[in-house]
A = this chain, B = another copy of it.
Amino acid sequence: MMNPSKVMESISIKLNQKLIPDQIQRLQQQIEFMLEIDKLKHILRRTILTDRSREENSAEHSWHIAIAVFLFSEYAQDQNIDWYRVIKILLVHDLVEIDAGDTYCYDHQSRKDQAQREQKAAERIFKILPLDQSRSFRELWDEFENRKTPESKYANALDRFQPFLQNYATKGQIWRENNITRRQVKDRMQPMFDGAPLLWNLVELLIDDAVQKKYLAG
């Protein structure tokens, strides 16, 4: 792979002729970021595709929940929110995994230093951007993590809902492989209660159903 930072270097002189000089470094940083985040496509999650052929990666997951924003918007707890911001939050929320990797939500050992690893990743990755964008991307990530705004509550609800549905649709294959229990899934799904209570009702029923069908330990 060509080093992202090298891609633009060779042509920056020529660009001087067509762009405002100040814009060149800025554009260089943006392109470097665009190429850097390509790596999210390599981060495998502990969720499988519905045909069970392989694990899902974090770029695919991010796309899927971004579409879910307007597919399920009527179920968001707060209807008076900035939907565009919700999508931006979700498109950005997993970028730190490029360095920090995906942490399985039921793996208590690796969750111990997850926050630390992800903070460090955020430092490096968002710093590739021009300063103003570095800040605004970082803000989107912090907002998701803090789960305080209505936008981030709905975003977190969708981030939990999509892998849940895929687990259910694949008869709990990953749950079974990891001996996951009803209690664990219920705890994990709690943010749905805040962000999308009607979908939480559905999830509660599906959890009961999953236990009955032995997709999930009781």
Contact surface of A with B, Cβ cutoff 8 Å: 1-2, 4, 7, 10-11, 14-15, 18-19, 23, 27, 30-31, 33-35, 37-42, 49-53, 56-57, 59-60, 62-64, 66-68, 70-72, 83-84, 87-88, 91-92, 133, 162, 165-166, 168-171, 198, 201-202, 205-206, 208-209
Contacts and interface: CB of A to CB of B under 8 A. Distances in A.
A170 B6 CA distance: 12
A152 to B, nearest CB: 17
Given A60-B41, A205-B18, A33 B71 contact: yes
Nearest to A53: B42
Contact of A59 (B60, B83, B87, B168): B60
A168 B72 contact: no
Give the most central of A18, A35, A63, A162: most B CB within 10 Å.
A63
Nearest to A84: B84
Interface of A is mostly: helix
B2 A171 contact: yes
Contact of A37 (B14, B53, B64, B202): B64
A128 B62 CA distance: 22
A41 B34 contact: no
Contacts of A198: 18-19, 23
A14 B204 CA distance: 11
A34 B164 CA distance: 12
Contact of A49 (B10, B38, B51, B83): B38
A39 B3 CA distance: 32
